[in-house]
Structure 1
């Protein structure tokens, strides 16, 4: 049991602390700075929506107001089986820079991307989602980064606007995640982009197969497999509201993590050392996170067994684990506690993320063919 305890502890520690430290060392000793350029390539923006009548006008006007030469940026809206007024609202804006593609049957974002991209001719393809507002200089920042011939895709930064204890806990985790992306980017490549804002060279872009949930991982990983870098551009910002409660955030997170299982299922070479240029980073950043909840269970169970010997170390370790779980549960039951006290906020967010990872496996095994995003309560509230 001691072997189980220490192995589980080591895997969790490496996933959340050891791997970031490794990336920090690589960023310091093996830095690969991006060499941005001044030329502004032509851009085709791709926006896929489903029944987004309440949001689409604001998003399209946001894109029209980007600080980028109007003649070099075109917006392509794909209505994925919309049954509301989304298409009519988009056409009513009347801008010649907006092209609307109406698909009668809802098939999912990746299927729309795969059909739309071959029809585009700009040098860069910029992907964004309907909910987020992006800064006016975001497209310019991404285009300047992609002027580096070694860079094939570039991700912007998603800024969450948290307004309560739970949301601030998730925001703290998101800041940790963005720091990790900065370190990965500084030493080579990140393993995925933010779907809210990323861009890629059209000539390198491999459209995702229909049914893929995480196009923002499939596309960058396919580009990285061809030898080009995928980098993080923190100057290109997209803004979104943070999670207002644990239920809505966990629904979204479960869907994303189930997409990771789908990615492994559809592209199993991503888990094989040496089969993909970013295999080590995928293990450190993604796959060990999927294993973390099961490692935590093994850690607790083995710790319980080992306390039978009366060893003070294992008794203290068990007490710390129990205290952390109780604090996390208290933060979930009493949001005011999470708002007032940072340790409760972080423990609650950590428990939520690992619970989502465990349930995501159940979700995927129950329905491996699922590929359509379902509206969460958070998204419904925005509408």
Structure 2
């Protein structure tokens, strides 16, 4: 009897993981084939282009802020129809000095807005947003570079009056590097595919801070404990608009090359994401369609708890092995695998499995980090400040 129970728990846990990472992407891709919701394929005349403000949240970004601004100054969009706003949040390095020097050369196109209280990115954005006079706000991290036609593509998407926000396609320029950067790039392409399928069925379930845009009128003041990009983008759906994804809006950045940096980043993101979900839960359940709730829970909520079925598989096989050689085999495979990946995490030169090693380590590390972040959220922990990964600069 106990053997049957442990076997059943093991199988259910396995299929929970299988659903999260394989079944849901297959389902949403299949639905997208029959319910393709295309974005606008025509463009504004130059006289009708909406005014765009590019907001660049920055905290100690002296290594990248100049190249970031020079990249944006070269964007193919009417120069009198956009501006770049450097949101300097309590920097202690040369970020403000560098941005101010460029502002002096391009006073009509660059603005520097300082916040000194050190309360985190979300609070800084809350402080800035009421001062902006624009039609569309593009949020883009300080280490992210945009393709020359990115603003034109953003403008085209918003020709569809049903769209309240749009996310662009992010690529990692150092994906060829083995380790976390390679795994992160591979995982991100997997994520981007799901987002595209979701968008083609109505709305994607949350945007990333690397590159996304919203109609200025849809911005709402945020609680400082929640993730600004996830909350702001989900908020457009709550207000009755679509959240789209466009492969035509292209952005580039370096991915974290150290597993330790990526682990810390995932803990912070999952903590703030789950805080966001809890904060908006009533509104989400009151305004989302059943299909959007299905997408949100399948893509986000259940996945935040992916480590639980992984742990359950391990524990159930630890009991099942006393009754079955198959149970013993599965337990030993997991035990040896987790121990090897722990050694690989401690010493990134240990890579007996090549690139598969990086993929498996990233999968386990990501799910553990997400689970820790969610548990911290449930315990009331709110991570409001951001520590960037140095290898992404």
Gaps of 5+ in 1: none
Superposition deviation, residue 346 in structure 1: 1.8
Matches within 5 A, 1:65-214: 65-93=74-102, 94=104, 95=106, 96-160=108-172, 161-162=174-175, 163-212=177-226, 214=227
What TM-score, normalized to structure 2? 0.88
Matched residues in 2 for 1:76 and 1:108: separation? 17
Q: Hey, what does 1:276 align to over in structure 2? A: 288
Superposition deviation, residue 257 in structure 1: 1.0
Matches within 5 A, 1:214-229: 214-229=227-242
Distance 1:288 1:270, change over 3 A: farther
1:259 maps onto 2:272 in alignment: yes
Which residue of the other structure, out of 3, 9, 21, is the alignment partner of 1:4? Answer: 9
**3-state SS of the aligned residue for 2:306?**
helix
Q: Hey, what does 2:313 align to over in structure 1? A: 299
Matches within 5 A, 1:206-355: 206-212=220-226, 214-269=227-282, 272=285, 276-277=288-289, 278-310=292-324, 312=326, 314-322=327-335, 324-326=337-339, 328-329=341-342, 331-332=344-345, 335=348, 338=351, 341-355=354-368
Matched residues in 2 for 1:45 and 1:305: separation? 56
Superposition deviation, residue 341 in structure 1: 2.6
What TM-score, normalized to structure 1? 0.90
Higher mean C-alpha displacement, 294-303 vs 84-93 = 84-93
Matched residues in 1 for 2:25 and 2:77: separation? 35
**3-state SS of the aligned residue for 2:83?**
strand
1:370 maps onto 2:383 in alignment: yes
**3-state SS of the aligned residue for 1:308?**
coil
Gaps of 5+ in 2: none
Higher mean C-alpha displacement, 324-333 vs 183-192 = 324-333
Instruction: Give RMSD over aligned pairs.
Output: 2.3
Q: Is the 8 A contact 1:23 1:184 kept in 2?
A: yes
Q: Is the 8 A contact 2:65 2:142 kept in 1?
A: yes
Higher mean C-alpha displacement, 201-210 vs 244-253 = 201-210
Superposition deviation, residue 339 in structure 1: 8.7
Q: Is the 8 A contact 1:81 1:106 kept in 2?
A: yes
Higher mean C-alpha displacement, 131-140 vs 160-169 = 160-169
Q: Is the 8 A contact 2:167 2:208 kept in 1?
A: yes
Q: Is the 8 A contact 1:254 1:357 kept in 2?
A: yes
Distance 1:320 1:183, change over 3 A: farther
Matched residues in 1 for 2:345 and 2:180: separation? 8
Q: Hey, what does 1:58 align to over in structure 2? A: 67
Cα shift readout 1:205-250 (whole Å, capped 9, x = no counterpart): 32423332x2111011110112211111122222111221110111
Q: Is the 8 A contact 2:267 2:373 kept in 1?
A: yes
Distance 1:130 1:375, change over 3 A: same
Matched residues in 1 for 2:139 and 2:180: separation? 29
Superposition deviation, residue 89 in structure 1: 2.0
Q: Hey, what does 2:23 align to over in structure 1? A: 18
Q: Is the 8 A contact 2:225 2:272 kept in 1?
A: no
Matched residues in 1 for 2:340 and 2:93: separation? 44
Q: Is the 8 A contact 2:150 2:249 kept in 1?
A: yes
Superposition deviation, residue 334 in structure 1: 5.7
Matched residues in 2 for 1:251 and 1:299: separation? 25
Cα shift readout 1:59-106 (whole Å, capped 9, x = no counterpart): 111111111110111112222223333223222112121122222322
- Aligned pairs, how many? 377
